[in-house]
Amino acid sequence: RVLKDLALLQRDMATTRPGGPDTLPANARATLDQAIRSFESAYIETSGITDPQTLRSIRLTNARTFLDKSEAYAVLGQQAEAHEALREAIAIDSGLALAHLELGKFYYRLSQTDPVAPATLAGVAGQPSARLAFNSFVSAQQIAANPAAANPELESEALYHMSRITTETPEQIPNADYDDAVTFAGLAYDRVNSFQNRAQECLARITRGNGGREAYLTGTNEEATAARSRCTGAMQSPESYLLSGQYQFRLSHFHAQRDQQQDLQLAIIAFEEGAQLYDSNREPKSPAEQRTRARLEMAKGVAQGCAGQPIIGQRIIDALNAENPAGAAEAGQYLNTYKTLRCRAS
How far is residue 329 CA from its own chain's centroid?
Answer: 17
pTM: 0.86
Check pLDDT > 90 for residue 128: yes
Handedness of CA 156, 162, 164, 167 (dihedral sign): negative
Check pLDDT > 60 for residue 11: no
Cα(243)–Cα(335) distance, integer angstroms: 11
Cα(245)–Cα(247) distance, integer angstroms: 5
How many C-beta atoms lie closer than 10 Å to residue 324's C-beta?
Answer: 18
How many C-beta atoms lie closer than 10 Å to residue 246's C-beta?
Answer: 27
Q: How confident is the model at residue 13, as a pLDDT?
A: 45
Lowest mean pLDDT among 15-19, 20-24, 131-135, 224-228: 15-19
Q: Which residues of 70-99 are buried (b: 16+ CB within 10 A; e: fewer)?
A: bbbbbbbebbebbbbbbbbbbebbebbbbb
Task: Give tens-digit pLDDT for 19-59.
Answer: 333 455 566 666 666 666 666 666 676 666 667 787 778 77
Lowest mean pLDDT among 10-14, 210-214, 260-264: 10-14
Cα(168)–Cα(108) distance, integer angstroms: 11
How many C-beta atoms lie closer than 10 Å to residue 122's C-beta?
Answer: 11
Pick the closest to residue 253 from 241, 264, 265 (CA basis). 264
Lowest mean pLDDT among 70-74, 209-213, 263-267: 209-213
Which pLDDT band holds residue 210 (cuts at 50, 70, 90)?
low
